[in-house]
Amino acid sequence: MDAATHKYVPFRGKLVAGGATGAKVAFVTAHVEGKPTPLYRYDLDAGTLEASATMPAATCGATSSETLFVGC
């Protein structure tokens, strides 16, 4: 069994929805004060976190091989 590697990434808000395709994870958060938060994309292979433009807090998400759906 391989040893686990812990990775931590900074993001703002409470995690409310997410999905994954391959080695990429996307998630959205809800800010405590209701402020818009970005759509985050984390690449597990590269260890990089990208944040898209801010949007109202979403509460659901789904992925297919090429598409990410985020809803409010």
Nearest CA-CA partner of 64 in 29, 20, 23: 20
Q: What is the pLDDT of residues 1-24, one digit of tens each?
A: 577 778 788 888 888 888 888 888
Mean pLDDT of the region 53-70: 64
Q: Distance (Å, rounded) from C-alpha 61 to C-alpha 28?
A: 8
Identify whether the C-beta of residue 30 lies closer than 8 Å to the C-beta of residue 37: yes
Q: What integer pLDDT is reported at residue 48 of this predicted model?
A: 92
Domain range annotation of the chain: 22-63
Whole-prediction pTM? 0.71
Nearest CA-CA partner of 22 in 2, 39, 44, 41: 44
Token output for 26: 């996307």
